[in-house]
Amino acid sequence: MRTVTSAAAMQRLARRWRAQATRVALVPTMGCLHAGHLSLVRRARRAVGRPGRVVVSLYVNPTQFGPREDWKKYPRDLVRDQRLCRTAGVDVVFAPGDAQMYPSVEGEAFSTWVIEEELSKEMEGRSRPGHFRGVTTVVAKLFNLVLPDVAVFGAKDYQQAAIVRRMVRDLNFPVRLILGATQRDADGLALSSRNRYLVGNLRRQALVLRQAVQQAQALVRGARFPPAAAWLRSALKRRIEQHRDARVDYIEFFHPETLQAMRQVGPGAHLALAVFVGKTRLIDNGRL
Ligand code: PAF
pLDDT tens-place string over residues 258-278: 999 999 999 999 999 999 999
C-alpha span between 234 and 267 (Å, rounded) = 19
CATH topology of domain 2-180: Rossmann fold (3.40.50)
Whether 135 lines ligand 1, by a CB cut-off of 6 Å, is yes
The per-residue pLDDT for range 194-205, each reduced to its tens digit, is 999 999 999 999
Q: Which helix (H) or strand (E) holds 26?
A: strand 24-29
Residue type, 259: L
Cβ atoms of residues 212 and 189 within 8 Å: no
Question: Residue whose CA is closest, atom 9 of ligand 1?
Answer: 135
The residues carrying an active-site annotation are 37
Does the domain at 193-287 match CATH 3.40.190.10? Answer given as: no
Residue type, 58: L
Cβ atoms of residues 183 and 37 within 8 Å: no
Whether 183 lines ligand 1, by a CB cut-off of 6 Å, is no
pTM more than 0.95? yes
pLDDT value at position 104?
85
Give residue 28 CA to ligand 1 midpoint distance, Å. Answer: 6
- List 247's β-bridge partners, or say none: 276
Mutate to test the pocket of ligand 1, among 29, 194, 281 (most ligand atoms within 8 A of CB): 29
Please, where in the chain does CATH 3.40.50.620 lie?
2-180
- Phi (first) and psi of residue 247, to 5 degrees: -135, 125
Whether 124 lines ligand 1, by a CB cut-off of 6 Å, is no
Please, where in the chain does CATH 3.30.1300.10 lie?
193-287
Give residue 58 CA to ligand 1 midpoint distance, Å. Answer: 9
Q: For 1-38, give one letter per residue: b (16+ CB within 10 A) or e.
A: eeebeebeebeebbeebeeeebbbbbbbbbbbbbebbb
C-alpha span between 160 and 65 (Å, rounded) = 14
Whether 138 lines ligand 1, by a CB cut-off of 6 Å, is yes
Residue pLDDT tens, the chain, 288 long: 999 999 999 999 999 999 999 999 999 999 999 999 999 999 999 999 999 999 999 999 999 999 999 999 999 999 999 999 999 999 999 999 999 999 987 788 899 999 999 999 999 999 999 999 999 999 999 999 999 999 999 999 999 999 999 999 999 999 999 999 999 999 999 999 999 999 999 999 999 999 999 999 999 999 999 999 999 999 999 999 999 999 999 999 999 999 999 999 999 999 999 999 999 999 999 999
- List 212's β-bridge partners, or say none: none
Whether 61 lines ligand 1, by a CB cut-off of 6 Å, is yes
Question: Residue whose CA is closest, atom 3 of ligand 1?
Answer: 29
